[in-house]
Amino acid sequence: MNWDALGAIGEIAGALGVIVSLIYLATQIRNQNKESQLTAINSMTSQWNAFMADMATNSELARIWSIGLTDLDSLDSTEFVQLSTHFNRIFRIYESMYRQQQAGRLDEELWGGLTRSMADFTKSPGVKAWWQLRGHWYSSDFGRYVQSHLDQAGEPVLTYGQDTKAPPNKALNTDP
């Protein structure tokens, strides 16, 4: 065997090493991207759960929420501040979710559910009124996204009647 043959064998071995390294790096990057997606989803879920826990455990906030979704003007100034803070909080969560989607960190099925949730939320008269007052607090691209939901027709599903616990147009009675 001569030096040229040994050099060729060395080049082949080096090329194989580079290929193996590239495969390893691609696998690591893919795993890191999956982990990044899971971290983003976990963070958003934690934020959402904290928001919902406030609603579930604070009956005064739930009362203000129920009234404010229908009519912001019926709230006194303190109630308005409290509800406005929670509307801001939920829109910040939605904006974070929107950013994660734009970065490709959410799968389409999850994003579809989040989009439907926001579409329902934005159909409420109180949310529409609040957005007119505070929508300028958000980035312009997210604002356009929210506005596209605000412009959609349909009945709000997150407002609750004063005499019932059931959402309007959604009968919970299963009696025949």
The pTM of this model reads 0.68
What pLDDT sits at residue 129? Answer: 93
pLDDT digits (tens, 9 = 90+) for 25-56: 888 888 787 787 777 777 777 777 787 788 78
What pLDDT sits at residue 158? Answer: 58
Q: Which of 63, 103, 97 is nearest to 83 (CA)?
A: 63
pLDDT digits (tens, 9 = 90+) for 74-108: 999 999 999 999 999 999 989 988 998 888 877 78
What pLDDT sits at residue 130? Answer: 94
Cα separation, 138 vs 107, in Å, equals 24
The pLDDT confidence band at residue 175, using thresholds 50, 70 and 90, is very low
Q: Would you say residue 174 has pLDDT above 60?
A: no
What pLDDT sits at residue 149? Answer: 87
Residue type, 31: N
Helix axes 77-102, 140-150, angle to 10 degrees: 110
